DNA sequence: CAATTGATGTAATAACATAACATTTGCAAT
DNA sequence: ATTGCAAATGTTATGTTATTACATCAATTG
């Protein structure tokens, strides 16, 4: 499954996220795109919806923000569950994957006959630089 | 660390959550407590803040809702990372703990010298009954 | 060209959360 | 008992995040 050609709005939103230092809220993205004609939140949310679907952007549930996938070119959906470490001081996000974690979680849900659709793993804390 | 005596508002909020079938939003809790004199969101959020601190209530980040801890009497904070399976159809929540998952995640953050404060693991999908 | 589909534009509103400030309550120290 | 403090509460207003509803536009296809 490859990423389709992005539309104009999708490209604009994606570019903003890619150039950002860290995660951005939808409204922050909106503000950054006012000059490009964006006027309403929905323009951002609709683009984000597609970008999430394509796996090129992640949503950070615990901080209501969005971040470009750390694996440009690859399809993140194929890496198993994505985990994030989010620095509460500087906002920097580290993305990682751990197959053993995936395996344990999936073993648990299988035991419950639970059918997983979307899994969130987010660790909030302080990055090395900020903890010092 | 034992749970202190709850205040009036804290007790009211906690009782609502305990009697609920599943997670509730802060505003749903507010509505259920109008008869008991609640008028403003802050009354709910302030109580929730304490209940979260005491570990008797959990916040589900991915659905902006709150749920009573599944281990009444025990202190949930001592169980390590709490994970949730949330049924998107019926809203039911299952709470579980997996020490191996904790171990893997903590090993990863240690490697990054990241200092974790709060970790979220939420699996959304369909429970056995709803998947049928 | 008509019909369908997906993308976009716009306004309004819903849902979630906090800031700021005033007041009250519980309780320890004197 | 009274003072002083910390925690809890009450209230209004506002800030932030997300969606509904409806109109329009563009590309594709039968």
* Residue A1 confidence (pLDDT) above 70: no
Domain-located, residue A29: yes
Residue nearest to nucleotide C16 (CA to C1'): B64
What are the two backbone dihedrals, phi and then psi, of residue B5, each rounded to the nearest 5 degrees?
Answer: -55, 130
Q: How are strands ordered across the β-sheet holding A83-87?
A: A93-96, A83-87, A115-126, B115-126, B83-87, B93-96
Cβ partners under 8 Å of residue B12, min gap 6: B33, B36, B38, B47
Domain-located, residue A1: no
pTM of model > 0.85 = yes
Cα–Cα distance measured from residue A127 to residue A123, given in angstroms and rounded to the nearest whole number: 11
Predicted confidence at residue B32, as pLDDT, reads 96
Domain-located, residue B60: yes
- Summarised one tens digit per residue, pLDDT across range A55-96 is 999 999 999 999 999 987 677 777 789 999 999 999 999 999
- Summarised one tens digit per residue, pLDDT across range B73-122 is 676 777 789 999 999 999 999 999 999 999 999 999 999 999 999 999 99
- Summarised one tens digit per residue, pLDDT across range B29-64 is 999 999 999 999 999 999 999 999 999 999 999 999
Domain-located, residue A89: yes
The answer, for A36 touching chain B at a CB cutoff of 8 Å, is: no
CATH assignment of the domain containing A116: 1.10.10.10
Domain-located, residue A118: yes
Domain-located, residue B1: no
- Summarised one tens digit per residue, pLDDT across range A26-49 is 999 999 999 999 999 999 999 999
Across all strands, nucleotide nearest A45 (CA–C1'): D18
Predicted confidence at residue A80, as pLDDT, reads 86
Q: Quote the number of domains for chain A.
A: 1
Predicted confidence at residue A3, as pLDDT, reads 82
Chain A closest-CA separation from residue B36 CA (Å): 31
Which domain does B90 fall in, by range? 6-128
Predicted confidence at residue B71, as pLDDT, reads 84
Cβ-based contacts of B119 with chain A (< 8 Å): 121-124
For A103, the 3-state DSSP assignment is: helix
What are the two backbone dihedrals, phi and then psi, of residue B113, each rounded to the nearest 5 degrees?
Answer: 60, 30
Domain-located, residue A34: yes
Look-up of token digits 């923000």: A65
């Amino acid at each position: 499954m490859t990423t389709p050609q992005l539309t104009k709005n999708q490209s604009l939103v994606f570019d903003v996220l890619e150039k950002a230092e860290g995660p951005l809220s939808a409204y922050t993205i909106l503000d950054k795109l006012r000059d490009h004609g964006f006027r309403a939140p929905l323009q951002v949310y609709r683009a984000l919806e597609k970008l999430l679907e394509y796996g090129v952007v992640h949503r950070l549930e615990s901080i209501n923000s969005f971040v470009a996938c750390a694996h440009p070119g690859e399809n993140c959906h194929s890496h198993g569950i994505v985990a994030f470490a989010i620095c509460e001081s500087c906002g920097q996000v580290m993305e990682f994957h751990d197959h053993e974690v995936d395996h344990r979680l999936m073993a648990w849900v299988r035991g419950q006959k639970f059918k997983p659709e979307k899994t969130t793993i987010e660790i909030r804390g302080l990055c090395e630089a900020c903890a010092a």
